């Protein structure tokens, strides 16, 4: 390791100590880091001469750490510190104006552990409630997040959708619009979007454009024309709007929803029938007579096709299925009867079991599972066997209070250890109604080893659901090396479901993997992994992703009725 690498380790140690509220030490580590960085001699030479302690600011303890790094290329102390602090908190420190104190307050008060979660909280003005956080702070933090984000270019659906919906609501309040709809990748429900597209069907487009650019959240005007405009919002997102005449509404909605590849195939089908399709309508090629265009349904019908839901317009077999009448009936919100993955204040969640149950009732659920972390996950305050037993009693009581309107399932999100064994003894797991097994450590295992680990857990007969099966974090962490084919095959044999974790930066299984799971005969359990009751609303992102994966109600565990669910889970399985 060279001087700058060792300085970087000391800086990280300082950050982690800051986050733990340790006094003085962080300053000492940063001072040493600066001195090491600016030294003209290679630190390895200094070490070889046995002179590390001569470096200004480096005492005995630091010298030992430097020697360890030079000898092994690693530092056990750093690994320990990392395991004590949620990884996303360090990421928050990259935001200008967010220091360790702020990060800790955000974590303690709102359960924030990532930049994405912070952004969502700022945009929904949830920082207001915290002492010392005014409107100005929110604005500064938002600017900082935009600086950090401007490197990536795409925005999570979970961030973009609320922003887009608020904009559409504003337009509807300002004008009497009956034809207004989100288009583009956001309407198709992609996990990330490049920008927001809004389509309006209105015969007075100029007034629409005026209302569009005068929205208070607009930061800058990029383009304003008679029928199309673009703006950048305070959140950093770009929004495009198009206004079309009512008679072209359906054709334009098809066009601007995309995907481009789906549109190209649609046009080709038109050509075969002597028809021309564009954003204004569907026309006879010879005479130019318009044959359809006012609604999407009539456009599809005139092409000899069934209506295709936006989520599957990706040119991946949907037009063939549409022609043959074999399109899936996609799962929808009304089919969903419960949530299988919710954390409470027993581990790292924000709310009490009772609050989660109330929220479940408000959502019209027939069941809700309480699944806190297991003992090994100490940074998330994982439950010891004793605490889990106590929690089970609390859950049973909440179930009674629910009076049968909502079944409260006692569960756990139990860690899958490196060897594939589970983090609680089977005698304890037997007392639960539902067990999610999740990988939360050693993400960098080699593929065969990781596959064996996960297959082991799936085949143990002790889990119902494999939690966030690939471990990816969108834009931040690649999926771990895993042979999904083998995992699905083991899951099919043992009746284990794959989770579709609905957290906006997870969506794991991803859409294409959901389709793969379904084709392998494996059911998908849509779950939120909510750490607060508000996050239980993330279920909609999971449902959208399931739809993009062509899932029908029969492919999804949450469509099972309340009275049958226990028979399908843990205790009920032979």
The residues that touch ligand DGT, with contacts defined as CB under 6 A, are 184-185, 190, 193-195, 197, 255-256, 258-260, 263-264
> Which residues on adjacent β-strands are paired with residue 79?
none
Distances (CA, A) of 563 to 405, 407, 567: 10, 9, 8
* Nearer Cβ to ligand DGT (185/502): 185
Site string for Zn ion, 213-232 (x = CB under 5 A): --------------------
Nearer to Ca ion, 197 or 415 (CB): 197
Residue closer to ligand DGT, measured from CB, 120 or 195? 195
For strand 367-373 and strand 407-415, is the pairing parallel, antiparallel, or unpaired?
A: parallel
Angle at the Cα of 105 from the Cα atoms of 102 and 111, rounded to 5 degrees: 120
Of the two residues 13 and 239, which places its CB atom closer to ligand DGT in the complex?
A: 239
Q: Which two tokens stand for residue 55?
A: 């470096």
Give residue number: closest CB to ligand DGT.
258
Q: Which stretch binds Zn ion (CB under 5 A): 64-72, 100-108, 259-267, 437-445?
A: 437-445
Residue 168 CB, shortest distance to ligand DGT, in Å, is 15
Give the nearest distance from C-beta 286 to Zn ion in angstroms.
60
Q: What is the dihedral of CA 342, 347, 351, 353, to 10 degrees?
A: 70
Give me the residues paired with residue 369 across strands. Answer: 409
Residue 263 interacts, among Zn ion, Ca ion, ligand DGT, none and using kind-specific CB cut-offs from 5 to 8 Å, with ligand DGT
| Residue closer to Zn ion (CB basis): 30 or 468 | 468
- Do 19 and 100 form a contact (C-beta atoms < 8 A)? yes
> In angstroms, rounded to a whole number, what is the distance separating the alpha carbons of residues 196 and 216?
17
Least distance from C-beta 192 to ligand DGT, angstroms? 7
At residue 409, the 3 state secondary structure works out as: strand
Among the listed ranges 178-186, 192-200, 210-218, 435-443, the one in contact with Zn ion (CB under 5 A) is 435-443
Residue 260 binds which entry of Ca ion, ligand DGT, Zn ion, none, CB below 5-8 Å type-dependent: ligand DGT
Strand partners, 415: 438
- Closest separation in Å from C-beta 238 to ligand DGT: 9
Q: Which is nearer to Zn ion, 257 or 351 (CB)?
A: 351
At 446 the three-state DSSP class reads coil
Least distance (Å) from ligand DGT to the CB of residue 240? 6
User: Residue 258: which of ligand DGT, Ca ion, Zn ion, none does it interact with, CB under 5 to 8 A by kind?
Assistant: ligand DGT
CB of 194 to ligand DGT, least distance (A): 3
Residue 101 contacts by C-beta under 8 Å, 6 or more apart in sequence? none
> Residues 469-508: x/- map of binding to Zn ion (CB under 5 A)?
----------------------------------------
Write down the least CB distance from residue 319 to Ca ion, Å. 21
Query: What residues are paired with 218 via a beta bridge?
Result: 233
Nearest to residue 345, comparing CAs of 20, 111, 86, 85? Answer: 111
CA distances from 259 to 231, 255, 509, 565, 567 (A): 22, 8, 22, 38, 41
Q: Where are the beta strands (DSSP E) in 194-310?
A: 196-201, 218-224, 228-233, 238-244, 275-278, 281-284, 290-292
SS3 for 158?
helix
Peptide bond into 561 cis (omega under 30): no
The footprint of Ca ion (CB under 5 A) covers 184-185, 195, 197, 240
Give the nearest distance from C-beta 229 to Ca ion in angstroms: 12
Task: Report the partner that residue 259 touches, choosing among Zn ion, ligand DGT, Ca ion, none (CB closer than 5 to 8 A by kind).
Answer: ligand DGT
Q: Which of 235, 257, 438, 532 binds Zn ion (CB under 5 A)?
A: 438
What is the contact surface with Zn ion in residues (CB under 5 A)? 438
């Amino acid at each position: 390791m060279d001087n700058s690498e060792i300085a970087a380790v000391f800086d990280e140690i300082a950050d982690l100590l800051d986050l733990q509220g340790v006094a003085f030490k962080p300053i000492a580590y940063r001072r040493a880091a600066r001195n090491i960085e600016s030294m003209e001699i290679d630190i390895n030479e200094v070490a070889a001469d046995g002179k590390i302690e001569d470096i200004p600011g480096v005492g005995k303890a630091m010298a030992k750490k430097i020697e360890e790094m030079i000898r092994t290329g690693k530092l056990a102390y750093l690994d320990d510190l990392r395991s004590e602090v949620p990884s996303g908190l360090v990421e928050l420190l990259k935001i200008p104006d967010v220091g360790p104190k702020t990060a800790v307050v955000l974590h303690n008060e709102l359960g924030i552990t990532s930049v994405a979660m912070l952004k969502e909280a700022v945009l929904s003005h949830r920082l207001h409630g915290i002492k010392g956080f005014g409107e100005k702070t929110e604005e500064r933090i938002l600017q900082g997040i935009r600086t950090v984000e401007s490197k990536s270019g795409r925005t999570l659906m979970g961030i973009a959708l609320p922003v887009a919906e608020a904009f559409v609501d504003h337009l509807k309040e300002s004008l009497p619009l009956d034809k207004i709809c989100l288009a583009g990748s956001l309407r198709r429900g992609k996990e990330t979007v490049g920008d927001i597209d809004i389509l309006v069907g209105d015969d007075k487009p100029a007034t629409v454009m005026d209302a569009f650019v005068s929205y208070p959240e607009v930061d800058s005007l990029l383009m304003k024309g008679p029928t199309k405009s673009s703006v950048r919002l305070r959140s950093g997102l770009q929004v495009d709007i198009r206004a079309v005449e009512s008679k072209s509404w359906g054709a334009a909605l098809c066009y601007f929803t995309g995907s481009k590849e789906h549109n190209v195939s649609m046009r080709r089908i038109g050509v075969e029938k002597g028809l021309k399709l564009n954003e204004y309508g569907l026309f006879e090629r010879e005479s130019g007579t318009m044959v359809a265009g006012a609604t999407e349904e009539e456009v599809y019908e005139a092409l000899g096709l069934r209506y295709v839901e936006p989520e599957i317009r990706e040119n991946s077999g949907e037009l063939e299925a549409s022609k043959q009448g074999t399109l899936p009936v996609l799962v929808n919100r009304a089919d969903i009867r419960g949530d299988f993955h919710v954390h409470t204040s027993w581990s790292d969640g924000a709310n009490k079991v009772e609050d989660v149950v109330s929220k479940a009732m408000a959502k019209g659920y027939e069941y809700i599972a309480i699944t806190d972390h297991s003992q090994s996950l100490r940074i998330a305050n994982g439950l010891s066997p004793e605490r889990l037993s106590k929690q089970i009693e609390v859950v049973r009581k909440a179930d009674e209070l629910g009076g049968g309107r909502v079944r409260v399932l006692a569960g756990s999100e139990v860690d899958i250890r490196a060897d594939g064994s589970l983090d609680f003894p089977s005698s304890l797991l037997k007392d639960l109604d539902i067990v999610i097994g999740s990988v939360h450590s050693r993400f960098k295992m080699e593929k065969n080893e990781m596959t064996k680990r996960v297959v082991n857990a799936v085949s143990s007969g002790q889990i119902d659901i494999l939690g966030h099966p690939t471990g990816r974090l969108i834009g931040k962490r690649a999926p771990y090396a895993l042979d999904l084919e083998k995992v699905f095959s083991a899951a099919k044999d043992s009746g284990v479901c794959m989770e579709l974790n609905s957290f906006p930066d997870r969506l794991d299984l991803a859409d294409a993997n959901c389709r793969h799971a379904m084709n392998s005969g494996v059911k998908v359990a849509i779950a939120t992994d909510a750490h607060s009751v508000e996050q239980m609303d993330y279920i909609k992102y999971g449902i959208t992703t399931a739809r993009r994966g062509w899932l029908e109600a029969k492919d999804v565990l949450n469509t099972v009725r309340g009275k049958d669910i226990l028979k399908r889970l843990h205790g009920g399985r032979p």
